[in-house]
Chain A
């Protein structure tokens, strides 16, 4: 079955969400957002929370964090300018803080959510030694915590344009789970700046089946077009056209 790279990522992330009830996604995370919508297509008890159109929250910006603190959020996504082999995340910048050479937006809620949400999926499309570094320049959110520090969440998996890794908290290391079609183990090794575990035989990330693709291209695409119009326009042009007609203005 032919599918795009984005569709492969969406289907793979949706698999990582199996068993989750409440999934939170960010405003600028169309691929994780699509994956959460896909998971909801499969199980209508799934709720997708975050800064989406018609979101459920009525208590302001604090509610997502309170909800996570109450243990109600099962999965969340974090990107990262840099990610290291112990799953530390840097969203601040490169070089010495505060006068970093490159400055990114900032930590957002990650320093809190990484500790509170059981299944945090690290998602960064670029798979390079610039992103996947031996040691982050600034720890926005730590991958693991010292014994005795309250923590009920953390890294679950890392997915990039090339591969899927699982995180082993006890070993504080990633383990390569599968390499996406079109990429190779050699390319993954060449482009990863940290050491990771891997099995003798590395699997290929399975492509979505026909039913998954039709869900993605139908109802999921329409939901995506409402929430992430610019992304939908490039990935699902038909659904974006529909949304444009319905809302009466150009996406973005």
Chain B
């Protein structure tokens, strides 16, 4: 029997992302749902608080350019070898998004706190970085277990996303999702209230039936909805399954230098029609 977690379109999937939701998304190499990104832009999502785990690229840039993002919490936004992220850069300069700059392990630690249901997680390092003075939600205390006085240590508040949103190779008909070694996707699912996943394929096997697959599988108890989206990470690369569409990403970089060019890209590749830019 097919679980009602399996929804029949990506548009139906992203109906679970409300405006102003805190949405956790993975770094480019882990499994970015570009299919869901396009659907969010089509449905004109607004006011999202994007938590990048721990960085983002084309996905964040598209959502920012389309006016979907109010706040971005990230350790970096970059298109990697394709260069700087143009709409992110423009939004920073214009002051149209709130920045919560972080460092990679701080984002992982915040999610781990939420995973454990505790209010914060300590992290070594980072002290002396200007990040600390600009993050008023981060605190420094003296290590209460130190043998001598002092020993300051950074505390990060739990990050509890409303939604974790990503792409994975496959799910079974119960809604169990195989993520292999991309364990941050497991942490995201544990930390978030809802987990929405696009997959390359929905398979008939039970992914929890065998130890071979169970260890790399997010059990359906954490999963709210799954939609099939073959090549759902394109134009980004997806693991070893397919490489990045370099021509398309290069075209994005060229067009997205301006908001008008960005709108042309969205119309051409995301089926967004006329009303998808932030320039309104």
- Cβ contact within 8 Å between A65 and B181: no
Chain B contact residue count (CB 8 A cutoff): 52
Residue of A nearest to B182 (CB): A60
Which B22-49 residues sit within 8 Å CB-CB of chain A?
A: 27, 29-30
CA A140 – CA B81 in complex, angstroms? 21
Convert B149-173 into 0s and 1s, putting 1 for each residue whose CB lies closer than 8 angstroms to a CB of A: 0111100000000000000000000
- The interface-forming segment of A9-17, A39-47, A96-104, A189-197 is A96-104
- Cβ contact within 8 Å between B77 and A116: no
A246 is an interface residue with CB less than 8 A from chain B = no
Secondary structure type dominating chain B contacts: mixed
Q: Which residues of A pack against B, CB within 8 Å?
A: 27-28, 51, 57-63, 65, 69, 91-93, 97-101, 103-116, 138-142, 145-146, 148-151, 230, 249, 252
Task: List 12 A–B pairs whose Cβ atoms lie within 8 Å, in order of A's numbering.
Answer: A51-B29, A60-B182, A92-B130, A105-B84, A105-B85, A109-B54, A109-B104, A111-B129, A111-B131, A115-B126, A116-B125, A139-B130
* 8 pairs of A and B residues whose beta carbons are closest in the complex: A60-B183, A106-B76, A115-B125, A142-B128, A105-B78, A65-B105, A109-B104, A60-B184
- Cβ contact within 8 Å between B183 and A148: no
B6 is an interface residue with CB less than 8 A from chain A = no
B134 is an interface residue with CB less than 8 A from chain A = yes
- Which of B53, B126, B152 has most A Cβ within 10 Å? B126
Q: Which residues of A contact B76 (CB under 8 A)?
A: 91, 105-108
- Cβ contact within 8 Å between A62 and B181: no
Contact partner of B243 (CB less than 8 A), chosen from A57, A92, A249, is: A249
- Cβ contact within 8 Å between A60 and B186: yes
With both chains docked as a complex, state the minimum distance between the C-beta of B263 and any C-beta of chain A, in angstroms: 22
Q: Which residues of A contact B99 (CB under 8 A)?
A: 98
Q: Which residues of A contact B224 (CB under 8 A)?
A: none
CA A59 – CA B186 in complex, angstroms? 10
- Which of B85, B104, B126 has most A Cβ within 10 Å? B104
- Cβ contact within 8 Å between B103 and A109: yes
